Amino acid sequence: PQPLPPPITDTSGKLVNDAAHPFKPLRPNDIRGPCPGLNTLASHGYIPRNGVVTPAQIITAVQEGYNLGHQFASFLCYTAFLTDGNHLTNLMTIGANTTTHGQPTTGLNTHGHFEGDASMSRDDAFLGNNFNFNETLFDAFQVAADAVGGGLLTFDAIVLNRQIRINDSIARNPQFAFETPRFLGAIAESAFIFAMFVSNQTVDNQTPLTIDAVRHFFDFHQLPDGFHRRQGPFDFPLVENLTFSIVDMAGAKPGSNNGVNNYIVNPQDLGTFCYVYQKQVNFTATLYPDPTPELRAAIKQNMLTYYQALGDSTCTQYFPFGQ
């Protein structure tokens, strides 16, 4: 375990597709996965190009590359690391599990931990491959942009895309699972496109996001030419406000399918960020029923860091391995 890194100090909307961070194609054994944000950072060297990373490297890089706020970056990173990372080596991959890079390292591809259904560009695990780019699913961006954005990815188009992807999983995946944390994760990821994949130059020019720009991240793992990160951090409570407006506009509710076209809303699911923390901490404890003392101490430490990353003392703290 390690403490949270400090926040970056310069949060201007500067050029980040720069000479110091050139795009490079994949080498054998380089790992990419279900997150277009992290895949792109790896292919530009903001995190190690092999895709094997520490939490601190992720937290610093998402600030540097996109101006994701320090608090939310820390929260998001530990939401994943708790269930997908190696607590003893402090390493996680941004995709598949590996034994090629030193100690065995687990990663973000693991279905049902953080990765989940109704993704915008990757299949539901039940239906296919949950980490490779899928052109057919990506087409829903064009459909939504044409329907309500005049061909561009306006906020309304991103909301419509979210609805299309949820309805597609309801119609085709008998095991569609859309409860917390996946519920808020999926919606926040739609918000991320709107808030962080738009070049700051584009924002200044009042030009909404193009399908081509979004394809660079999702498909090519590449920052568009001249990409400037947003001006100022995207952090709590901005993330919460944007996420919950998409929840409302899309009419999304946490739940799951019991057979295709049979979506059951779960009224017990609180659908809040406190609840994400609660569920992830308790789920992690079930993943390690009988840890060695050393592992137990490491997990406990990372659970404390996760609560600190949440940064909201009104959320109840949980100690499944004791205080």
The residues with which 228 forms a beta bridge, in sequence order, are 15
Q: Is 213 in the site for ligand HEM (CB under 6 A)?
A: no
Taking each helix axis from N to C end, the angle separating 70-84 and 273-287, rounded to the nearest 10 degrees, works out to 30
Find the shortest distance in angstroms from Cβ 292 to ligand HEM.
26
Q: Report if residue 230 touches ligand HEM, rule: CB under 6 A.
A: no
Instruction: Quote the least distance from Cβ 205 to ligand HEM, whole Å.
Output: 20
179 binds, among ligand HEM, Mg ion, none (CB under 5 to 8 A by kind): none
**Helical axes 238-250 vs 155-172, angle rounded to 10°:** 60
The smaller minimum CB distance to ligand HEM, of residues 54 and 278, is found at 54
76 in contact with ligand HEM (CB under 6 A) = yes
**Vertex 237 angle, CA 231 and 238, to 5°:** 40
When binding is defined by CB under 6 A, the residue of 85, 116, 149, 271 that contacts ligand HEM is: 116
Nearer to ligand HEM, 237 or 319 (CB): 237
CA separation for the pair 293, 283 (Å, rounded): 19
User: For residues 29-48, which are near ligand HEM according to CB under 6 A?
Assistant: 34-38
66 binds, among Mg ion, ligand HEM, none (CB under 5 to 8 A by kind): ligand HEM
> Toward ligand HEM, which CB reaches closer, 225 or 292?
225
Q: Which residues contribute to the site for Mg ion (CB under 5 A)?
A: 115, 119, 122, 130
- Give least dist CB 293 to ligand HEM, A: 28
Q: Is the CB of 18 or the CB of 294 nearer to ligand HEM?
A: 18
Tell me which stretch binds ligand HEM (CB under 6 A): 43-51, 66-74, 220-228, 295-303.
66-74
Q: Find the part of the chain contacting ligand HEM (CB under 6 A) among 15-23, 153-161, 192-200, 273-281.
A: 192-200
Q: What are phi and psi of 177, to 5 degrees?
A: -115, 120
Residues found near ligand HEM in the complex (CB under 6 A): 34-38, 58, 62, 66, 68, 73, 76-77, 80, 108, 114-116, 119-122, 185, 189, 192-193, 196
